[in-house]
Structure 1
């Protein structure tokens, strides 16, 4: 029943059991495609990713006092750093890096609680965040295309059949995104994966052996510190993973502002930006303890809230519980493993492009003037260093592309003067005249 302001269920209202289950499943499906794609790309267990997203969401709800109906899923910003960290020191190194990134969230949250939130908005203005997000999307472009066109390692040969699977998957995802209405419009990734998977079955490139042999319930492949690896903190891992928090913190702030507008609350003030950032950080730390990718608030689920006008935090919590249960269902994990790489490549073409485009949107929405030399310099340097994959190597440690670009962007924003030299401008006008 609609209230005067159009809300069906407000944040603290508890639905009846049928509505609860139905709408919780809806949120589960909204996040499912993207959340399983990240572990698929970085070669972690999708079941663990589902469990960590569920546990992280429940922790977030608890820390924000049940006031913020946000769902947390796998973060795309950490894809390249996790791959690099695994190559440098194995899965354990990636988990240590994720833990440190979550720790940064906690430190930032405590500083915000003590000093307010304006400083972080000044440190991460749109002219820095926009280009860095563009770098994230474009930096993953070759990953998407390789998955779309080539057979898996060790052969890695060009395959027109694989590319056709990727293009069919991409087409279905685009159609779902552009032409479908309502809830279906919010799950184009999931629909694309399903459509591409069916096409792959018809093409004969799906192996069901693992799906048939796997037990219905199974223990996921958790990566537990001190049991599966001995945690070691190195400067390489710090420089590889921690700077990404610069981007994800800005993403988090943007999501909280949008979510607050939808549910008619100011989440920056109450329960406070420090609580939501702390919740996000704790969710990422939880993921690092069990072998899942870092978590972040999900725009897909915010979209579900906007369409349904059902803001109940109980429904978000229900989706989190379902995600945890799904993580222990072996058949689901095996089914995910059986998805051919070109299917994931097809959806990744669009997803990674959207990430890059969202960076452009930040610049446009904030009316960033690239005619201003200061803005032009910051954006240009971030883009070329990030996309080009620049690396600083000094006596055993390395600072890679995206992280290096983010740090340089922050430094340039601090040191470059913001006020124009009026005398210089006048001289230029006189010269033209």
Structure 2
């Protein structure tokens, strides 16, 4: 879209980054299913490889369909730029890669998706990195955990699985004081419900697989750069502030300014890690984003109705939805997620583990899958699946104890979902 008026979210989710195809006039963004791109001449090729000119070289690095998606997500998040990749897990590594080095650490919330906890506590050790897990409701503990080797702080805006809301402004203030970036996973909230950059985040990551696509068809990830962090303020981030040997001494921060992190993600991250998003996946996600605000409104509306009903059910111990008056996180909704607390929460069942298993097996409309953010309502018993690799203590800290079921509320009729939940709860206790 051209520079000029400030457009609303509903307009941007349809138009940002997209223009009619110059070759055919096609209005929908085409799927550019190609590996490589023809250079105008040898000089043009050299300029692209030297990062002296922006363009397309090879689809591991850049692709026109993916480029539209990157611009759209960056626009919706209020960022300077974005890099899309193959999955949400890939996005997390892509976000950390320019920041970390052997012997460095990331301070991470205990309330994270189980796969993220495993990635941070186990896999990143192979790079020589480490993670310190802290309860982010304890701000003093977060500040204390940051040391001279800390290179990032990481949390989720709406935590998976419990739907807990992080006090992003407070955590951002701690990160700023320490001179390190705050990375916020905004998957569960989406930019429609939460804008972490406006609240002080440096980087935002997404599993675009979830709400952004919204139809359970493709996997993908994205890293959005606020463009506001000064990578040259200290010597902690040499990948961005020091000369890069692979590009004849080019310094990303000096050459690209607010887009330093984004260009590094493409020119180094995608070049060497190769965690590329394919153009067909980008196409499906672009189509999904066109209805993001409409879907999120229904997700929130349904979640508010259903969580309140569940809270009053005889077979339910408690519900963690932040939109409920009983939630300790209700006060953060207006500040962090002013349009609603999302569509994700957990339900603790009376009867413990066995009741949870019977409940999941008895549902009919709800799909038992390892996913969230679909238009379809989804359910999973986290302790035996997504958080299975964690210790009992880690499961409890993450809000995924053995008596807990994660529910991702879809966009179906709320009364139908309530009826399904009711019969399953009765079956679980029969």
Whether TM-score is above 0.5 comes out as no
Greater share of residues in strand: 2
More helix by share: 1
What TM-score, normalized to structure 1? 0.24
> Which protein has greater RCO, CA pairs closer than 8 Å, 6+ apart?
1
User: TM (normalized to structure 2)?
Assistant: 0.24
